[in-house]
């Protein structure tokens, strides 16, 4: 139910060690943040996770997107590699073409700001769709309504596409998104850490450890 949205190797290593992450999502902006070339970093990420690694196709036209998808699949030759393809009309057509030629290719439709895109991506055979929660909210789009509508349509129509929501800036958005019906989410490392390391919890744990030390220091004098 949880993917990590980063290309930072330290963060991927740390999160993978916890053992509950299903994989890693990347996009060109995330790669630029680390200032790393796609091929080099994805090879490193594959060494750090057992899960799926989503790599975004680059290009403007259907032909460019399909060609880049083929390039990604042939470069890494790893069944854990999945394709991220933008869900505009060219991207939808590219998804359909790729799925027709290579049914086993795993596709995540990305850059999603609407239920409508989710419907078309599912019809093109996308395995996942990535609605952008924070970015929708920044644009006064009701992100949770998009999740609810999408889940209802997918369930009613028995479409197998899963919602893998993205673009989070706080942990509340993650929980609301899951409650609205998202199957899964991809989140940055700081939010992964914040999901566990709540200030109140850290304070309580500190007190428990302090009390445990005091008890040990007291010995068995009261038994």
Q: What amino acid positions are annotated as catalytic residues?
A: 84
DSSP-derived secondary structure for 135-188? HHHHTT--HHHHHHHHHHHHHHTT---EEEEB--SSHHHHHHHHHHT-SEEEE-
Binding site for ligand E4P (CB under 6 A): 5, 25, 27, 29, 110, 130, 132, 134-135, 166-167, 186
Min CB(30)–ligand E4P separation in Å: 7
Buried b (16+ CB within 10 A) or exposed e, 64-88: ebbebbbbbbeebeeebbbbbbbbe
Closer by beta carbon to ligand E4P, 49 or else 206: 49
Question: Of 12 and 130, which has the nearer Cβ to ligand E4P?
Answer: 130
Q: Cβ(185)–Cβ(177) under 8 Å?
A: yes
Between CA 144 and CA 138 the distance in angstroms is 13
Calpha distance 186→24 (Å, rounded): 8
Of the pair 1, 211, the CB lying nearest ligand E4P is at 1
């Amino acid at each position: 139910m949880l993917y990590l949205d980063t290309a930072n190797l330290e963060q991927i290593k740390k999160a993978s060690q916890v053992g509950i992450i299903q994989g890693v999502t990347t996009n060109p902006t995330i790669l630029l943040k680390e200032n790393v070339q796609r091929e080099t970093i994805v090879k490193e990420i594959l060494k750090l996770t057992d899960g799926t690694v989503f790599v975004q196709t680059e290009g403007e036209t259907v032909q460019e997107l399909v060609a880049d998808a083929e390039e990604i699949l042939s470069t890494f030759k790893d069944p854990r590699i999945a394709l991220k393809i933008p869900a505009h009309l060219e991207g939808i057509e590219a998804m359909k073409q790729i799925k027709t030629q290579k049914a086993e290719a795993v596709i995540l439709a990305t850059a999603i700001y609407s239920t409508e895109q989710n419907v078309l991506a599912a019809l093109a055979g996308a395995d996942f769709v990535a609605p952008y929660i924070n970015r929708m909210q920044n644009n006064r789009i009701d992100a949770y309504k998009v999740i609810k509508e999408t889940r209802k349509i997918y369930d009613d129509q028995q479409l197998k596409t899963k919602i893998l929501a993205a673009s989070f800036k706080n942990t509340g958005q993650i929980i609301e998104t899951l409650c609205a019906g998202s199957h899964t989410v991809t989140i940055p490392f700081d939010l992964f850490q914040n999901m566990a390391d709540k200030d109140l919890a850290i304070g309580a744990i500190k007190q428990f450890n302090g009390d445990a030390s005091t008890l040990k220091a007291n010995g068995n004098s009261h038994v």
